[in-house]
Amino acid sequence: MKIVLVGYMGSGKSSVGKKLSKVLKLPFKDLDSEIEKIEEISISKIFSEKGEIYFRKVENRVLKKLLSESKHFILATGGGTPCYGDSMEFITAHKDVVSIYLKTSLEVLVTRLKSEKNQRPLLAHLNNEEEIEDFIRKHLFERAFYYNQANVVVENSSEDIAETVEKVILKLL
């Protein structure tokens, strides 16, 4: 089985994915890290030097390559991955893939992301917490259609990582 974690940036896909991989004894992969290996450049440099459209095309290609492998693993996607091209359709079409939406409240996302805004290419241009909140709110509205196509939805706004992993496992049973 391949488990694909989707959700907005800051929703805990990497943290939950790493912990889940230990519990389920499955390898963990991070889509952004896989892209950086192939492109031999950081995600932020891809955005600044080649643009978001180029990044989204590479992201879609790498996602499809990974999900076409026969190996089992847990994959943390980028926040926008399911929303571009045919990525979410491709994820949900695979019989051996379970997609899990880590649904996180706006308030929790703002709290988590305001301190990381300079490391997040899509947030770096924002000037204050109000702009960050407005940006995230708009994105969540636009992306909810894609995120909600996941096989499983797990609320993770107030739990710690271990509690979220436990919720995921219970949904998988």
pLDDT 10s digits, 140-164: 999 999 999 999 999 987 678 999 9
| Mean pLDDT, range 47-54, rounded to an integer | 91
pLDDT over 90, % of the chain:
77
Q: Does 121 have pLDDT greater than 80?
A: no
The predicted structure's pLDDT at residue 80: 93
* Predicted confidence (pLDDT) at residue 19 exceeds the cutoff of 80: yes
pTM: 0.93
- 88 vs 41, 131, 148, 151, CA distance in Å? 25, 28, 10, 11
Annotated binding site for ATP: 10-15, 120
3.20.20.70, 3.40.30.10, 3.40.50.300, 3.40.720.10: CATH of 2-160: 3.40.50.300
Q: Which residues are annotated as a binding site for substrate?
A: 32, 56, 79, 143
As a whole number, mean pLDDT of residues 73-84 equals 95
- Torsion angle in degrees (nearest 10) through CA of 21, 32, 145, 5: 0
Cα separation, 69 vs 149, in Å, equals: 22
* Average model confidence (pLDDT) across the chain: 92
Annotation: binding site: 10-15, 32, 56, 79, 120, 143
**Can you give the pLDDT at residue 116?**
79
Sequence spans of domains, the chain: 2-160
